[in-house]
Amino acid sequence: MRASPLARLLLLVYLVLIAYASLYPLSGWRDHGLSPFEFLGAPWPRYVLAFDVAADVMGYAVLGLLAVLALYPGMRGGPAVLAAAAGGALVSVAMEAMQTYLPVRVPSNVDVLCNAAGALVGALLGLAARRWVLELGPLGNWRARSFLPGVHADVGLALLGLWLFMQLNPAMLLFGGGDLRDLLSGPAGPARAPELFVAIEAVTAAANLAAVALLASAIAAPRAPVRSMILVLVLAALAVKTLAFAIILRAQGNFAWLTPGALQGLALGLGLALLAVSLPRVVRLALAAVLLMAAAVLVNLAPPNPYLAAILKVWKQGHFLNFNGLTHVVASLWPFVAIAFLIFVAARRRDEALL
């Protein structure tokens, strides 16, 4: 068996996400004159929250699992598990040590212990799941049947995974990534009539949904059931969005995201997507890039929404501070990375046609 470029790409992306979440908000750096590793010998804290322990274990379990899959076939079995677990522990120690220089973060030896345990658990799960995930397993066969071969298709799949991940931010318009106002400290603009906001949300959701569907179709294999795959992708995104609202607003707010604008955008975007996948591949790539750019411009010009602002205040409290920052930065940058990917694939297609 050959190595899995997708597993290695996902491992790299996940390491970047861990670094950002661990060092968020990436500001206020200062040297307190302490050793960055002094926390390792600190007394055991009096209170340890079960939520923190579970979050640390689960977060690094994914890292351990991806590491084992990325190491295969160069390293297998016990050595792969040990390497993944040790790597996860080292990453955790490095992240906690860097938190020493951030006033709003507190490095913890308990976090390191939980992260290392999570990496070990994930590595063992990766060893058990290897036959299912890699080339000869069901997921590997599905990848080979449903999508084009090559690293560019793996990058496209990683982008689709990040698109699903960014739906966990409940303060974002439905599918509405690309909002750079917070990152660039730009003004939100004056308040407008509700009708204008409904129209903006509908167009934004429709354009982004259609663009993501076209991106998925561009990396799909010629005989793959593209329309069925698009429907599954949209349903998965809506499930993630509902989960985010369920976590924040409890049972009474599970479908608070289903506003009139979101509902109109879903219907319009899904209809456009199912029709547009029949276009030639180069046209689909160009149309997806145009839709993403138009939606990003519209998001940055949208008037402020008091309801979403209230949701954001709740989402930033407590344990979700770092996670909110992570989902926000992914949502802000995703459309522009996707546009660059679409341009690259279109240029690669043109070069292949010239040869």
Is residue 336 over pLDDT 90? yes
Q: Does the structure show a pLDDT above 70 at 66?
A: yes
pLDDT tens digits, residue range 78-96?
899 999 999 999 999 999 9
CB atoms within 10 A of CB 4: 23
Cite the beta strand spans of 87-170 per DSSP E.
none
Check residue 307 and give its pLDDT.
Answer: 61
Place of tokens 């690094």: 60
Query: Averaged over 22-29, what is the pLDDT?
Result: 81
Task: Look up residue 218 and give its DSSP letter.
Answer: H
Q: What is the mean pLDDT of residues 145-165?
A: 90
The reported pLDDT for the residue numbered 188 is: 55
**What is the percentage of the chain residues whose pLDDT exceeds 90?**
37
pLDDT at 108: 87
Q: Band the pLDDT of 354: cuts 50, 70, 90.
A: very low
Q: What residue ranges do the domains of the chain occupy?
A: 5-144, 148-354
Whole-angstrom distance between the N-terminal and C-terminal Cα of the chain? 31
Token pair 């660039």 in the structure block, residue: 184
What pLDDT, on a 0 to 100 scale, did the predictor assign at position 337? 93
Average pLDDT score over residue span 308-325: 58
* 95-120 mean pLDDT: 90
Tens digit of each residue's pLDDT (9 = 90 or more) over 40-62 = 888 877 777 777 788 889 889 99
- With a cut of 70, say whether residue 334 has pLDDT above it: yes
Distance between CA atoms of 172 and 301, rounded to whole angstroms? 14
Q: Cα–Cα distance between 354 and 348 in angstroms, integer?
A: 10
Percent of the chain scoring above 70 in pLDDT: 85
Does 296 or 244 have the greater pLDDT score? 296
DSSP label of 220:
B
Residue 42 confidence (pLDDT):
81
For the stretch 178-221, pLDDT in tens is: 888 766 655 555 556 667 778 888 999 999 999 999 999 999 99
Give the pLDDT mean for 255-279.
89
- pLDDT of residue 67 exceeding 70: yes
Instruction: Evaluate if residue 355 carries a pLDDT over 50.
Output: no
As given in the structure block, the two tokens for residue 92 are: 């955790």
Q: Is the pLDDT of residue 317 over 60?
A: no
DSSP letters of 267-326?
HHHHHHHHHHTTS-HHHHHHHHHHHHHHHHHHHHHPPP-HHHHHHHHHHTSGGGHHHHHH
Confidence of residue 173 (pLDDT cuts 50, 70, 90): confident
